[in-house]
Amino acid sequence: MYTRRRKVLTCSFAGEVWRWFDRWTGRGHRRGEDFPSLISAVKEEYKEKKKRKLHMALSYVVLWQIWKSRNEAVFQKKKSHPMRTADEIQLLAFNWIRNRAKCLSLNLHEWCILPSIN
C-alpha cells in the first residue's frame, strides 16, 4: 500500500535529496521503501557505534527536512528546491550533532564538505 509516509523516501523531490545525501556523505545508502528498511540498512552498513549513531542522526535529519519541505509545499504553497533542503539538512545536522555530541571540534565548513565526528 502506498502511503504519504513513504513519499519522504520515494517521491522525486526526496530522491534528489537522498542522492545529494549519498554524495555528501560519500556513501551509497540502501534505503528501501519504508522507515524500518532505512533504519535496518544504516544499522547493517555501519558496524562501528560512533559512525552508526552519526548516520542514524543524519538519516533522521534528512527525513525531517523532506517532511517539512513537503508540508510547506502542501499547506503553505511554498516551492522548495532540493538544494535548499540540502543546505537546511547540513545546518540542522551540524547544530544538532555539535550540541549533542561530546566533540567540540566540529567546524561548519569542514562539516559541509564531509560530515564526521572526531
Task: Give the residue among 11, 79, 93, 29 at the shortest CA–CA distance from 20.
Answer: 29
pLDDT in tens, 49-96: 988 889 899 999 999 999 999 999 989 999 889 999 999 999 999 999
Quote the cell numbers at residue 98. Answer: 555539535
Residue 91 CB neighbour total at 10 angstroms: 15
Over 80: is that where the pLDDT of 4 sits? no
Lowest model confidence (mean pLDDT) among 16-25, 41-50, 52-61: 41-50
Q: What whole-number distance in Å separates Cα of residue 72 and Cα of residue 68?
A: 6
Instruction: Tell which wins on pLDDT, 30 or 40.
Output: 40
Quote the cell numbers at residue 117. Answer: 565526528
Task: Give the residue among 42, 92, 87 at the shortest CA–CA distance from 64.
Answer: 92
Domains of the chain, by residue range, sit at 4-113
Among residues of the chain, what percentage have pLDDT more than 90?
42
Q: What whole-number distance in Å separates Cα of residue 79 and Cα of residue 72?
A: 8
**13: which residues sit within 8 A by CB, 6+ positions away?**
66, 69, 70, 80, 82, 85
pLDDT band for position 1 (50/70/90)? Answer: very low
Predicted local confidence at residue 62, as pLDDT: 94
Per the prediction, the chain carries an average pLDDT of 85
pTM for the complete prediction?
A: 0.85
Cell 538519516 belongs to residue: 59
